[in-house]
Amino acid sequence: MSDVVLETRGLTKHFKIRKGAVRAVDGVDIQLRRGETLGVVGESGCGKTTLAKLLVGLEKPTAGEIRVRGEDMVRLGGPALRRARRNIQMVLQDPYTSLNPRMTVGDIIGEPYDIHPDAVPRTGKARAVQELLDIVGLNPDHINRYPHQFSGGQRQRIGIARALALRPEIIVCDEPVSALDVSIQAQVINLLEGLQRELGLAYVFIAHDLSVVRHISDRVAVMYLGKIVETGNHAAIYEQPTHPYTQALLSAVPVPDPRLRGRRDHITLEGDVPSPADPPSGCRFRTRCWKAQPACADHEPLLEIRQRSPHPSACHYAEVRDVMRRF
């Protein structure tokens, strides 16, 4: 398929610790097509940020492949790697700490051009930066201002402009709106969607806010302890989840409608997520799962289409349960 812009196979990252390793990302396969948004959801410690860092080359994988337009970034080096990296950029969560306070906005957005001098458009760097400011809805005349002169939402726009500088096809967004107020979140989400339509961008959109992910994603992958446990298009995941963890996660989301109080299907999980340094044997979710059987400890369920799951689900007992009814 030619329209696949990003693909990972068996992507794995283990962080060595004194005893063994933290298995942050443990065999993740994703595919992203041109102009598509893949939402990645999961709770803290599930490995979603490590996945983001692997994708843009901020971490080196322990094993696996990251193919951008068919080329395995893991095996590339030197000029070829530099060139390939241009195509996949990142927007970070915290617009307050991800912009250098001592650099002007022009220098921040233009920095990618310093690293990739051959990518500077013919019109010149300053001109290109001003165009980027305009694209993200900021005043091009503010090119010499500093980050502290902007609000949180505007700073996130600066971060987006920086990610756009090298004209990538893929942008990895790691919690791009979670630091923002509700009224500002909507502005940034609309901007991201507009840019996608105009520029044909593909997004890997990592977030813990499930309603934001549903709004923006074409497909969704649910992560738990370093693995994808369920994946499918947004309707499959939100309306017909088959993995117990997805079901629990969705049922725990507070819904802004008091009429549904006490009428929703609430699944309250016991306990905390186990340590990724010592994940449970077999199915990693079994220690918190109400459906767990002895077999779950022995056999690791694969992420695959099953008799009762029309989309890939990593549960031996996968079965549709509509926890979002009337939502």
User: Using CB under 8 A as the criterion, which residues of the chain lie in contact with another protein when the complex forms?
Assistant: 43-44, 151, 153, 181-187, 189-190, 193-194, 208, 210-212, 214-216, 234, 248-249, 252-261, 266, 268-269, 272-273, 327
Comparing CB distances to another protein, the nearer of 18 and 259 is 259
Nearest-approach distance from CB 231 to another protein, in angstroms = 18
Nearest-approach distance from CB 259 to another protein, in angstroms = 7
313: which 2 tokens? 């689900």
CB of 14 closer than 8 Å to CB of 214: no
Comparing CB distances to another protein, the nearer of 12 and 211 is 211
Nearest-approach distance from CB 201 to another protein, in angstroms = 16
Nearest-approach distance from CB 154 to another protein, in angstroms = 8
CB of 280 closer than 8 Å to CB of 292: no
Comparing CB distances to another protein, the nearer of 57 and 241 is 241
Nearest-approach distance from CB 66 to another protein, in angstroms = 27
The amino acid occupying position 192 is L
Comparing CB distances to another protein, the nearer of 97 and 151 is 151
Comparing CB distances to another protein, the nearer of 19 and 259 is 259
Q: Please, what sign has the CA dihedral across residues 35, 41, 45, 46?
A: negative
CB of 31 closer than 8 Å to CB of 39: no
Other beta carbons less than 10 A from residue 104's beta carbon:
17
Nearest-approach distance from CB 303 to another protein, in angstroms = 21
What is the DSSP secondary structure assignment for residue 142, as one 8-state letter?
A: G
Element (H or E) spanning 52, and its range?
Answer: helix 48-56
CB of 134 closer than 8 Å to CB of 51: no
Nearest-approach distance from CB 211 to another protein, in angstroms = 5
Comparing CB distances to another protein, the nearer of 75 and 325 is 325
CB of 269 closer than 8 Å to CB of 288: yes
Place of tokens 């509700």: 182
Nearest-approach distance from CB 260 to another protein, in angstroms = 8
Comparing CB distances to another protein, the nearer of 131 and 193 is 193
Comparing CB distances to another protein, the nearer of 2 and 268 is 268
The residues with which 220 forms a beta bridge, in sequence order, are 39, 232
User: How far apart (Å, rounded) are the C-alpha atoms in residues 150 and 105?
Assistant: 10
Alpha helices of 66-209 — where are they, by DSSP H?
78-85, 105-115, 125-135, 152-164, 182-199
> What residues have CB less than 8 Å from 76, skipping those under 6 apart?
84
Place of tokens 């840019």: 195
